[in-house]
Amino acid sequence: MAGTASTPAVAHIGIGSNLGDAQANCLKALEALDGLKESCLIRASSLYRTEPVGYENQEWFVNCVAMLETGLSPYNLVLFMQEMEKAAGRRRVISCGPRTLDLDLLFYEDMIIRENGLTVPHPELIHRRFVLEPLREIDPGKIHPVLKKTVDELYLALHDVKQVWKIS
């Protein structure tokens, strides 16, 4: 699956930041995704202010979700996303800790991938309000390929009580 996809695919990408100018970091990530060769941004959610999950002794996050049409394979898309994180100064020090930029491949078409360190759909997205709320905004009918439930159904069944609110 390396290289480019034979036909353009739709990918959903979670974007988050809580270091530096978090809003600007998320907006720059959206611009970079939109400018990616063989890709175009279909839709982006609003920005959301979100309470940290996991490691809670840190600043709140800004999160959003992008829907991208891309000719890149899932693996090459993730490599590009990791390069974006590095360019933004991301250092992986504490699991779920502060970060200048965090990019997660949530869905890639209806593919189910569990190999070479890549898991798609993202295994935690069904538990996270900060992912499901912006995802629901832009693609509520998207069906989770494993659970066979829509994003809207997943959101309505969510037990996460962390605060999430739209900021723009």
What are the catalytic residues? 90, 99, 102, 104
The DSSP element (H or E) to which 102 belongs, if any, is strand 102-108
Tell how far CA 123 is from the center of its chain: 12
**C-alpha dihedral over 10, 142, 62, 42, to 10 degrees?**
40
Distance CA 31, CA 28 (A): 5
Q: Is 82 left (phi over 0), alpha (psi -120 to 50) or beta?
A: alpha
